[in-house]
Amino acid sequence: MTAIRDLEVLLREMRPALRDGDYVFCCLPTQEAEEHIASALCLFREDEGVTLILERTHAERAGLAYGPVMRCITLTVHSALEAVGLTAAVSAALTRHGISANVVAAYHHDHIFVPAEDAQRALLALKEAAPV
């Protein structure tokens, strides 16, 4: 599978898909975060601590504090890490609908975390943003 760089192709082929489950962002001291890394969908180390993206059920079972409950929309197109404009286009489409977004770019796909209550509207907004 070849990664795509062309913005027009990325938008046309992005095929957003809503993942099952609710996700939360938690920030923990490094030592405390270690025991949750195996359950994390994603992690990022910052000076203030380790941010983990976890399924809400895991965070609740572990008694972890977390921010807003999010849903994850995966853009199923294989986007190149050096592609220009995809994040901006997705953010603009969601902004027009008043939906906040937290974007995580992984090796093959971009993942958009949106407030759980806005997930269906966000999915529609992204599908509308794809040129026909």
Q: Which residues of 49-79 are buried (b: 16+ CB within 10 A; e: fewer)?
A: ebbbbbbbebbeeeebebeeebbbbbbebeb
* Percentage of residues of the chain with pLDDT beyond 70: 99
- What are the tokens at 48? 């203030």
Tell me the pLDDT tens digit for each residue of 37-74: 999 999 999 999 999 999 999 999 999 999 999 999 99
pLDDT the model gives residue 31: 92
Tell me which architecture the domain covering 1-21+70-132 has in CATH: 2-Layer Sandwich (3.30)
* Percentage of residues of the chain with pLDDT beyond 90: 95
Q: Which amino acid is at 44?
A: F
Q: Domain residues of the chain, as ranges?
A: 1-21+70-132, 23-68
Q: How confident is the model at residue 121 (pLDDT cuts 50, 70, 90)?
A: very high
pTM of the model: 0.94
Answer yes or no: is pLDDT of 114 > 90: yes
